[in-house]
Every structure is written in C-alpha cells, then in structure tokens.
A = this chain, B = another copy of it.
C-alpha cells in the first residue's frame, strides 16, 4: 500500500513499514484523521523524524524483562507504530497463554491512535488496553500554570456481537491539542474551560496554547473534577512512562514516548459468546435512554469510530484537499506512485 511504500523509501524494512502503514490507515478509517496518513506529510511527521535521526528506521527491538504475563521491550528509538504493533501482538499472545498480557515499551516514539492497539485485542476475543505518555509540554497539574504532562491518551476496547465495538479512546485532557489546531484553521474561538494562557488565565483564544498556555485536564476547573483528569493523566505517566523505564512526562524531551499495552482474554473470565451478548445488551440499554431536549440520539462509546469505519471501508478515505496535496508531494519526493483515487489509499 502507498503508506507502506513511502515508509520503505525512508529505510524502514517492508514488514515494519506495513505494520506502521496499517496503523495510519486504520486511524483514517476510524475517522481519527490527526493520527492517520497526515502523519506522513505535515511538519513534525514521522518522515521528518526519520530524516532528522529522531526515529530509528531499523531498530533492534529486544525484551529487557519478561514473565508469563508481562514484558518490557526496548524500542531502540523505533517508530512507535512498529514497536507498539509488535508489543500488542506479544501482549495478546501472553493473554492467550495465561489469561492476561501486559507489555511496556521503553524509549518508544509516537504510536499514532491508541485505538488501533486496543482494537487489535477485540479481534482475538480479548479486551484491549493502550496508553502512552510523551514530553510534558501540554497539560498543567490542577492549580499549576506550567505544563508537566502530555495529553496522555488511554484506550480500552471490547468485542461485541452486532453493536458497535466498545471503544474508549480519549486524551486525559479536556481535549487533545488537535482540537485547537482545528479551531485555528476554522478561525473559531474555543469554549471556556479548555485552555489557560501563559499567565494561567482562562482563555478562549486557541493561539494562546502555542504561546505558552496549557490545556486543562479532563474535568476542567477543580470544582468540576479537573483534579480527576489530572490524576488520570499521571496514572498514564506511571504505567506508560515510569513502569516502562522511559521516564515521566516532565523529564522527557524530543519525541520520546513510553507505551503501555495490555489484553485480557475474555474466555479466562466467561464464555466469549455470553460476553458479546451481555455487552450488546448493555450498549443497547444506553442507546435507548430517554433523550435530553434538543438531543437527537445517544452514542455508545466507540459508535462514532465504528460508523466511520463502516463508511470508509466501503467508500474509501475522504482526504482533505490540503492533505492530498501533501501526500502527492511525498509521492513525488519518494517516487512512490500516488493511488488513482482516494478510495484506493485505504
């Protein structure tokens, strides 16, 4: 596929390039465009990282510690999507053997959308967990006015029968930084409660983030439970950063990211068929809740991504014009043929 060939042109071995390409395309399929093919194009992208030597295209990924249900892998500065895909396969294989598997990745890089890894487990009849930390330049602790944490995402996914696959996939900040970029692009103010400016005052100007501001943790102000989002963010730092041996957000620099992945085998707890049916019922009960005035429907967690995937697997990925132009430029630079239609990209 296109993305894989581009990564190969940057020196990544074919099998690894295909793993990373699958992660990127899957993000676009899920509608998580900020973590899709756009990462091959824009500033700060994977390709720039390889060019600058921040990402090692041919890492020697090796286990540092291992037990029947756990492992720590040294990523050797390899592309996050490659290392995390291999780590999640290992977690799944451990869960198949002993019920659960958890793999921490030391010295990884940006792994793309956390949902890609948690969803891998659902195809094996398992519940998946994925999280990562990164340099702490985005989120301030409650009552602080300087960033010490990244947006530290968490994802959990579980298999259903006919309902949308259950998927929690969230930054532990009120919003991910990408939402500010969208507001800037569309020249719109942002709601009160997302951002503090560099002086620690509430701001509705998305430009204040790049000017030294900080995103608020999930919950926003303390009186609305912002200290909970702060604690969730630190939890990710503990598991993905400290336990992996990578380091906590405030000590990391550059593109370094610690990764924590896990899988619980459903059959270790109950019959998978029974689980799927019960989870389907749970999600139906949520969808059937009486609506607030003015609301049109209740989404189950993951339904938005599931519907996007159904549509895009059928029709292809609708690339924005600027993203398409960027990718065509990458195609020219690498000599990889650009697909004839955007549908073919997927």
Chain A positions within 8 Å of B, measured between CB atoms, are: 65, 67-70, 72, 98-100, 102, 104, 127, 140-146, 148, 156, 158, 166, 168, 170, 174-175, 191, 193-194, 196, 199-200, 218-220, 223-225, 227-232, 234-235, 237-239, 241-245, 247-248, 250-251, 264-266, 268-270, 274-275, 278-279, 281-282, 285-286, 289-293, 295, 297-302
Q: In the assembly, what is the distance between CA of A231 and CA of B170, in Å?
A: 9
Whether A228 lies near B218 (C-beta < 8 A) is yes
Kindly list chain B residues whose C-beta atoms are within 8 Å of the C-beta of A232.
168, 170
6 more A-B residue pairs beyond the given contacts A141-B289, A170-B228, A247-B278, with a C-beta to C-beta distance below 8 A: A144-B286, A219-B229, A234-B282, A234-B300, A243-B264, A243-B266
Whether B281 lies near A251 (C-beta < 8 A) is yes
Count this chain's copies in the assembly: 2
Q: In the assembly, what is the distance between CA of A38 and CA of B310, in Å?
A: 51
* Among A69, A248, A264, residue most surrounded by chain B Cβ atoms (within 10 Å): A69
Whether B248 lies near A282 (C-beta < 8 A) is yes
A216 vs chain B, min Cβ distance (A) = 9
Whether A143 lies near B292 (C-beta < 8 A) is yes
A225 vs chain B, min Cβ distance (A) = 5
Whether B156 lies near A235 (C-beta < 8 A) is yes
When A98-B67, A98-B68, A268-B65 are in contact, do A243 and B144 touch as well, CB less than 8 Å?
no
